[in-house]
Amino acid sequence: MTIANYSAAKRDTMVELLDRAARAYPDRPFVVVDGEAFSYGEIDRRSNALARELSELGIGKGQCVVTLFDTNVDVFTCWFAINKLGAVWVPINTAYRGEFLRHQVADTEARIVICDDHYLDRFVHIASQLPDLQLILTRHGRTDPGCPISIKPLDVHRGSDTAPLPLAVAPADLAALIYTSGTTGPSKGCMISHNYFTAVGRINRRYTLLDEGQTLWTCLPVFHAAALCAVISVMEDGSCIALASQFSVRSFWEEVEASGAVSAMLMASIFALVAQAPECEAEKRYRGKLKMVFGVPITPPVRKVWQERFGVRIVASWSYGQTEAIRMTAVPLDETPPESCSGRAVDEYEITIFDEFDQPVPEGTVGQIVLRPRHPGLIFDGYWKRPDATAAAWKNLWMHTGDMGKIVDGYLYFMDRAKDYLRSRGENISSFEVESAFMTHHAIAEVAVHAVGAQTGEDEIKVTAVLREGAQVTEHELCLWSIDNLPHFAVPRFIEFREALPKNPTGRVLKYQLRDEGLTPTTWDRQDAGITVRRRK
């Protein structure tokens, strides 16, 4: 058996992974958040104590616990505490509020939520719509006397008994629910097993320039699957993950230098922003010491800046994945692939291209990207409480990604994505969920949310809406309303009111027609109106 196949066939759990690291490297830094370090042993002890307290609160195997955290040490304390009970961790995007938040919390049937204090108001606002939720633990003890749900300080339940728990967790047990962006309906919870998490960590590590005990730096929030896999990838040999709770162009090189990182995981516009920033002293001091950055997307001109100006030897963006199978492709560190490709299938997966009849297409022909694992427990276990959606995706014994691509000389080329799928500010967005939010506005009768023109890279979001008879609202007013009711990255740039939406004979809105029509003479532009949207807490 080859080393790669042995790695793929290995069975493991998050609990065992942390236990081994804590025993072998108890004093080594595991997590560094904004410069504050926490060792493997400390995270292990903290999570043991909290797990016992959560057990006393009734949390047991298979139950979901939701967290809504900024990047801080309690992300890790809660994650491992929940998993040590055999329970299921549900990290939620901190930009979510209103219907976006309500849907995911209600879908999990979670009885306990743990959150930063400044997110409490979001739960109070939707408390009457969360019948299963019984307790909210706030990180620094904030409360709300008017909330019908019990609220207590997390500090009261941190516990003091740090001894290991006796409960055995199996590799096939669920470790987490990570919600998709919901491209054609409400977002779905991907069921992530312990073995899937640990296997993806090993895959990620194979393609990361990182030796034992070295540091990987990222500013990605830990509710994102990519950041989670970065965390797991350092655990096998006691390496370190350094996290910045916020990204800053001005302090980027100072933070990386302070961490001593040799690799970094970035995403989207961050590559260009750093490449375009003026030279600073920290950059000059650290030039050549950061050996690798990886993430998507990276354009060839930006890659050149990182290599020539910053002295980064490997600037990698050749990968493809989804929450259902996070790291399907990659490229060995000593290989230079075609610039526009998405890498080759890693040893753990078989990837091919199908036509609309699930028949393989000739090389170079565009079709749907499909895959299957070569060993058990290497992809998601299906969609939480959605067997029909699972069956539809896992059709004819292949996982259907819904993405279009082609394979040439063994390299996968991503060509397009599902038409109703949006991406803005590095976030995947469900047009369905944005539409559901707009439909709660008193003046809206019908609405379609779509990209403007061709969907390449980051999308510009447009809302095309029909007003209720007799209702009055301006585009400016609707935009301000959306800022209060949507995640910042889902706020549309363009708004247009129409008498009717284009539909097919069955009544389905023809979004492709709206996309092709793009910016009409009656389209309102948020930027022209001088409205700026920023992330809020």
Phi and psi at 242, nearest 5°, equal: -105, 130
**Domain 206-416 CATH (choose: 3.30.700.30, 3.40.50.12780, 3.40.50.300, 3.40.50.170):** 3.40.50.12780
pLDDT tens track, the chain, 537 positions:
343 444 555 789 999 999 999 999 999 999 999 999 999 999 999 999 999 999 999 999 999 999 999 999 999 999 999 999 999 999 999 988 888 899 999 999 999 999 999 999 999 999 999 999 999 999 999 999 999 999 999 999 999 999 998 878 999 999 999 998 654 557 899 999 999 999 999 999 999 888 999 999 999 999 988 899 999 999 999 999 999 999 999 999 999 999 999 999 998 779 989 999 999 999 999 999 999 999 887 888 899 999 999 999 988 888 999 899 989 999 988 888 998 899 999 999 999 999 989 999 999 998 899 999 999 999 999 999 999 999 999 999 999 998 878 999 999 998 755 556 577 767 767 777 788 889 889 999 999 998 886 555 568 899 999 999 999 999 999 999 999 999 999 999 999 999 999 886 456 787 778 888 989 999 999 999 999 888 876
Q: What phi and psi values does residue 270 have, to the nearest 5 degrees?
A: -60, -40
Length of the chain: 537
pLDDT for 1? 37
HEC readout, 375-439:
CCCCCCCCECCCHHHHHHHEECCEEEEEEEEEEECCEEEEEECCCCEEEECCEEEEHHHHHHHHC
pLDDT at 2: 42
C-alpha 446: how far from chain center = 30
pLDDT at 4: 44
The domain at 3-195 falls in which architecture?
3-Layer(aba) Sandwich (3.40)
Residue 296 DSSP one-character state = S
Tell me what pLDDT residue 3 has.
Answer: 39
Cis bond upstream, residue 505 (ω within 30)? no
Which residues in 454-475 are b (16+ Cβ under 10 Å) and which e? ebeebbbbbbbbbbeeeeebeb
Q: Which two tokens stand for residue 488?
A: 């910042």
- pLDDT number for residue 505: 47
Q: Which is nearest to 323 in space by CA: 232, 436, 187, 449?
A: 187
Return the residue matching tokens 């809206």: 444
The whole-number pLDDT of residue 519 equals: 93
Per-residue confidence (pLDDT) for residue 339, from 0 to 100: 83
Residues forming CATH 3.30.300.30 domain(s) in the chain: 421-525
- Every domain of the chain with CATH number 3.40.50.12780 lies at 3-195, 206-416
- The CA radius of gyration of the chain, in Å to the nearest whole number, is 23
CB count within 10 Å of CB 512 equals 12
Greatest extent of the chain over all pairs of C-alpha atoms, in Å: 72
Q: What is the pLDDT of residue 422?
A: 72
- For residue 214, the model assigns a pLDDT of 96
Q: The domain 421-525 belongs to what CATH superfamily?
A: ANL, C-terminal domain (3.30.300.30)
Cβ-Cβ contacts under 8 Å for 413 (sequence gap 6 or more): 340, 341, 342, 405, 406, 407
Is the whole model's pTM more than 0.75, yes or no? yes
